[in-house]
Amino acid sequence: MEYLDIYDEEGNFLGKEERSIVHRDALWHKTIHCWLYDKNGNVFFQIRKEEGTLYTTASGHLQAGETLEEGFSREIKEEIGISVNASDALCIHIIPFVMDREKSDGTIFRDRAFAHIFVDLYEGDYQDFKFDANEVSGIVLVNAKETLKLFQNGTGSIAGTVLEEQNGHIISSRKEICFADFLVNAHETALEKYGAVLEKIIELTE
């Protein structure tokens, strides 16, 4: 059973609760959004297996008693299969996230999270990637500047590099990445959701 630390709306620690209850009762908790980028200004988006859309490099709930650095390393390891030094990761934002949605069984999933947004430079070998077969079907590398412009325009496509796992090896291919390929919830825009991350990566790599 997975437990999460819970907080009030001001971020004051209250205790811990089981994950399903956290989302049933709309309890505030912490999530971590992990973004990797390379020295050439490319950002790593994971391909979500279920939806086929592009999202963070890795992300998830911070578990009860876990530090942000521990959560960062764990999520990257679980979803992408690589070990990173979390002490090098930079927290650029903490964003209160609120969303309610109806699940297929008719129940309401209530999300109240303090989303901690981290970026980290990756200089390792792509062959070290090992994707979580239940969640991730690959990685797409896109240039941060080009992606930011795509989101500002709200339409179009850019060139990207797709990394997929085949027979234990990472295979690279080039592909056009469309604006509609990125995961954006109904109450968001792509620029609002990803713009600050892209701007920070551009700043760090120029």
Rounded Cα gap, residues 52 and 167, in angstroms: 21
Task: Judge whether residue 106 has pLDDT over 90.
Answer: no
- Shortest CA distance to 82 belongs to which of 2, 183, 170? 170
Can you give the pLDDT at residue 89? 95
Can you give the pLDDT at residue 81? 96
Rounded Cα gap, residues 82 and 124, in angstroms: 9
Stretch 174-193: mean pLDDT: 94
Residues 12-49 have pLDDT tens digits of 999 999 999 999 999 999 999 999 999 999 999 999 99
Rounded Cα gap, residues 130 and 80, in angstroms: 5
Can you give the pLDDT at residue 27? 96
Can you give the pLDDT at residue 185? 86
H-helix or E-strand containing 144?
helix 144-153
Residues 137-146 have pLDDT tens digits of 999 999 999 9
Residues 47-67 have pLDDT tens digits of 999 889 999 999 999 999 999
Whole-model pTM? Answer: 0.93
Task: Judge whether residue 99 has pLDDT over 90.
Answer: no
